[in-house]
Every structure is written in C-alpha cells, then in structure tokens.
Amino acid sequence: MSLTNRALWFKDDFLHFIDQTLLPLEEVIVSTDSFLRVNEAIKRLEVRGAPAIGIAGAFALALSQKYPLNSPSLSEAYDILVNSRPTAVNLRWALDRLVKSLGSDKQNNLYERLLAEAGKIHEEDIESCSRIGTHGADLFRGAVNILTHCNAGYLATGGDGTALSVIYQLQKRGMLKKVYADETRPLLQGSRLTAYELHKAGIDFMIQPDSAAAYNMQLGNIDAVITGADRIAANGDSANKIGTYSLAVNAAYHNIPFYIAAPFSTIDLNIADKSGIPVEERDPSELTSVKNIHVTRSDYPVFNPAFDIIPAKLITAIITEKGVYHSPFRFDEPAENN
C-alpha cells in the first residue's frame, strides 16, 4: 500500500494524517509529534473510524513519552486518550495492548518500546483489512450492487478498509456493479469520504440521501448492505454510525442480506449485549449548522447521537480477518472460511 491511499502513517518520529474534516474539497496532511494534537484530531474527527482511531491512539500514547523530561506520566496520557471517543472499542484495546507490552518495566525507553508496538498494530491492521476483503467477497457468487453507510475504507483504517475492502475485492474480481453510498447525516461521511475513496478507485457509485435507502431497496437496486462497526458485543449486537439500524431494519423487510465488516479487535467480549455499549452524543451544532453556516436556530433542542446499535438478529453475518461469523454469533468458536 502506498502513502497515497493511507489515512495516517508514522515517519521520522512524526504522525502524519489526512484532516478528514476538509475532504473532499481539500487534501491537507497534518504532521505532529504532540500526543495532545492527535487526541484533539480524534475528538474533532480529523482522524475517524474505529481501527484508525485505535492506531492513532497507539502512536499518540508513544508520542506522549517522546520527551522524558517534559512528558505526562503514562497513566495520565492514557486517561486523556482513552476518553476522547467512548464508543469505538479499538481505542481502549490499542492503548491497553501498548501498556501490557511494557510488562513490569514502565520506566525505561518508553517511547521506543511503545512506538514499536504501535507499529505492529498498524501493520497488523493492514493485513487484517486484506483478509476481511477476501472473506467478504467470497460470500458472493455473482455481480452485485452494494449499499454502504458512513465510511469504512482506508480513511477509517490502517489498510484498505473493512466494508470498502470487501467492495474493492469485488471490483478486482469483476463482481461489482455499483455502490450506493448513503450521504450519512449529519457530518456527511458518505458523500464526502466514501465518495472520495470510490472516485479515486474508479468504482461506479452513486450518492443517495439516507432517507432514500428503503425506496432504493424497494426498487430492487440493492443486493446487499455492508457497513463497518465501532463496537460489537459478545452476542453480535453492533454499534455503527447513526442511521445503520434503519438500514438493517429495511434490509430485513426487503429480504436483503445485511453484513458487518470489522476487525476482531472491534468485538468487545466484555460486553454481553447492546445494553453495555456507550453511545456518544455529539455537539448540537453538527445539526443546526453546516460548515459554520446556520441552517436552523442554534437554540432549538437537538438529539444528536453519533451511533446506533444494530441488534444481532438483524445481522446476516459479521466478516472479520479470522473469517465469517453467522448468527447465532459465537466468537469463541472458529469462524467460517468460505
């Protein structure tokens, strides 16, 4: 994978990432060695997508120890980073893995040791994305139209993506007709980011309003829905960008398969079901204005959850790098490999 299709990379002791809040109209790369700047980027959605958040958080924890004489304690940096986005489990998973990698010695050469482990997480995610794409594409037998929601491509991961990795693999196999990308209100990750990726990849796509998805299913234009996930409970209940639950309900009504594609690290076996998944609520201004232009009164009451939760019974299968899990979901058993 070249740097031209990566959302973030570490080089010369700096983390470099694309500011995704400016896409697709501007391509701006931010370079920083400040863990607080990376933390701010995660909170502001300059870096987003569960796997990418985990990778960025890992590099940020390493950067927090870059200057030993002027660094916060490891636990202080951990606490700051782990609270930047509460729903995506990959962030806590990555931070915990870095701390665990230190063993009992949490004093010596922290920057170098943490950086090495963060690099491993990034490389593993690149391979994970590739495997997810292969396992997902193997589920299909003919050319298909795919509907996706939000962005689950290379902008959201360290590799080719999760849901979009499946789409890229279908394209390579000559099995992809068209991708329908929900705009994904209110921050338009579909019309800004997924469309940006698909356009660069030369894939035939069409943007649609979120509210048009059910009608497009009724018209017979959708063969399958594939989305990513930010956290998956032990029973298969899955949190993803707000609007995904509606897609799953509509897909079930129209007898269209609904797939989740995510790395195994997104599965939180410590949470039994959806009741344990925290759902982040974001600033009302995301709904009352667009690019700082008010579209309604800023004092109107707003309900702005960033995610919703898809019950396991609405999910046809969960595609991971280990293989495909079908309902009823048992993640302690081997996945199917088609």
Distance CA 60, CA 236 (A): 30
Q: Which residues are catalytic?
A: 230
Sign of CA pseudo-dihedral 31, 69, 42, 198: positive
| Residue 227 burial by Cβ neighbours in a 10 Å radius (0-12, 13-18, 19+) | buried
Instruction: Identify the residue whose tokens are 């939180």.
Output: 268
Q: Buried b vs exposed e over 19-44: b needs ≥16 C-beta within 10 Å?
A: bbbebeeeeeebebbebebbbebbee
Report the run of H or E that residue 146 belongs to, with start and end: strand 144-148
- Taking the CA atoms of residue 49, residue 40, residue 55 and residue 317 in that order, the dihedral angle to the nearest 10 degrees is -20
Distance CA 284, CA 40 (A): 19
Distance CA 77, CA 67 (A): 13
- Taking the CA atoms of residue 209, residue 164, residue 150 and residue 332 in that order, the dihedral angle to the nearest 10 degrees is 130
- Extract the tokens encoding 207: 């943007």
Distance CA 158, CA 90 (A): 12
Return the SS3 of 190. Answer: helix
